[in-house]
């Protein structure tokens, strides 16, 4: 009997109402699918208590927190000290998500940039990876990430990457990682798949961004961590690898970037 290859859903939102009625079952299904770790993301710091509670309740779940760029103008501005203090929790493993989103919220670009720089500094000080959301802001994103890196190194993942080849290369040049979501499995995402295929496989993560962006064969339905495997199977095809080998590679990549999660031993 062959075992199911282990993979990690590096970005999901388990605190969202979509999961309120069956979170234990959602996590059980993930484990059955080989998704042995999940990083649930807090997008508004005032919601941190419920996100933290989920991570404390379920051993396979870790958490990260920040202010989503689309909420940057509506939420209180986070401080570096506030974010750094969160890192004291043993299951707090990343800073963000933060970033720039000019698709719907271009009017708050200046506030988003200020928030992004605060999160970058927190990532520097904690040594935890920065989790970036980027949409319709490629030039500003590449410039800020590069300028800030020149001011002091930090690690980073471009979560749910669906931007240009130029931004992908800018991120890779800085040593950052690209995360594949269900978008990369959509039939019309051939150009995006080419961007991932051109990247080093040692810099690829997989995620769901659940409850959003379910990959085929679940597209149009609520996404959940178990579906990470569908995106990972597409990744394996892109890199001409056996699924088990690609899964193992993404596990190595995740452990390299999310060192704190990799070191978790289940002790509270």
- Is 214 inside a domain boundary? yes
**CA torsion 234→239→243→246, rounded to 10°?**
-110
- Is 226 inside a domain boundary? yes
What is the mean pLDDT of the segment spanning 152-169?
98
At residue 110, does pLDDT exceed 60?
Answer: yes
- Is 267 inside a domain boundary? no
Task: For residue 2, name the pLDDT band (cuts at 50, 70, 90).
Answer: low
State residue 120's pLDDT score: 98
Task: For residue 267, name the pLDDT band (cuts at 50, 70, 90).
Answer: low
Q: How many CB atoms lie within 10 A of CB 13?
A: 19
pLDDT, tens digit, 9 for 90 and up, residues 12-41 = 999 999 999 999 999 999 999 999 999 999
Q: How many CB atoms lie within 10 A of CB 34?
A: 19
Instruction: Looking at 77-227, list the stretches that DSSP marks H as alpha helix, in order from N- to C-terminal side.
Output: 80-86, 102-105, 109-126, 138-151, 165-173, 190-197
- Is 1 inside a domain boundary? no
- Is 71 inside a domain boundary? yes
Q: Which residues are bridge partners to 180 per DSSP?
A: 206
State residue 236's pLDDT score: 98
What is the mean pLDDT of the segment spanning 180-193?
97
- Is 52 inside a domain boundary? yes
CA distance 70 to 74: 8
> Which CATH number do you get for residue 105?
3.20.20.140
User: 115 near 77, Cβ under 8 Å?
Assistant: yes
Q: Given the structure tokens 């590096």, which residue do they identify? A: 10
Give the residue ranges of the annotated binding site. 11, 13, 97, 133, 159, 209
CA distance 14 to 25: 12
CA distance 24 to 58: 9
At residue 268, does pLDDT exceed 50?
Answer: no
Q: What predicted TM-score, i.e. pTM, was given to this entire model?
A: 0.97
- Domain membership of residue 163 as a residue range: 7-262
pLDDT, tens digit, 9 for 90 and up, residues 45-101 = 999 999 999 999 999 999 999 999 999 999 999 999 999 999 999 999 999 999 999
Give the residue ranges of the annotated binding site for a divalent metal cation. 11, 13, 97, 133, 159, 209
The SS3 call for residue 10 is strand
CA distance 192 to 79: 34
- What domain count does the chain have? 1
**Per-residue exposure over 175-192, b if at least 16 CB sit within 10 Å of its own CB, e if not:** ebbbbbbbbbbbeebeeb
| Relative orientation angle of helices 138-151 and 165-173, to the nearest 10 degrees | 10
- Is 268 inside a domain boundary? no
- Separation in Å, CA 241 to CA 206, 223, 236, 247: 15, 25, 5, 9
pLDDT, tens digit, 9 for 90 and up, residues 188-222 = 999 999 999 999 999 999 999 999 999 999 999 99
Q: Which two tokens stand for residue 262?
A: 């990799």
What is the mean pLDDT of the segment spanning 167-191?
97
- Is 187 inside a domain boundary? yes
């Amino acid at each position: 009997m062959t075992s199911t290859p282990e993979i990690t859903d590096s970005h999901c939102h388990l605190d969202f109402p979509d999961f309120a009625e069956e979170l234990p079952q959602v996590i059980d299904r993930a484990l059955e699918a080989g998704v042995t770790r999940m990083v649930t993301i807090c997008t508004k710091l005032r919601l941190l208590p419920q996100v933290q509670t989920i991570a404390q309740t379920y051993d396979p779940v870790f958490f990260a927190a920040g202010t989503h760029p689309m909420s940057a103008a509506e939420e209180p501005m986070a401080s570096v000290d506030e974010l750094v203090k969160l890192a004291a929790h043993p299951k707090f493993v990343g800073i963000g998500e933060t970033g720039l989103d000019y698709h719907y919220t271009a009017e708050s670009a200046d506030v988003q940039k200020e928030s992004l720089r605060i999160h970058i500094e927190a990532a520097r000080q904690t040594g935890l990876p920065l989790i970036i959301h980027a949409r319709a802001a490629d030039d500003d994103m590449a410039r800020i990430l590069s300028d800030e890196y020149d001011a002091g190194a930090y690690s980073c993942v471009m979560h749910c990457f669906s931007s240009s080849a130029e931004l992908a290369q800018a991120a890779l040049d800085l040593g950052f990682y690209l995360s594949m979501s269900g978008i990369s499995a959509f039939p019309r995402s051939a150009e995006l798949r080419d961007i991932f295929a051109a990247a080093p496989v040692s810099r690829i993560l997989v995620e769901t961004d659940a409850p959003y962006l379910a990959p085929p064969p679940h597209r149009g339905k609520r996404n959940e961590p178990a579906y990470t495997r569908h995106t990972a199977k597409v990744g394996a095809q892109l890199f001409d690898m056996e699924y088990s080998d690609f899964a193992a590679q993404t596990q190595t990549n995740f452990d390299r970037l999310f060192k704190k999660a990799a070191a978790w031993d289940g002790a509270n």
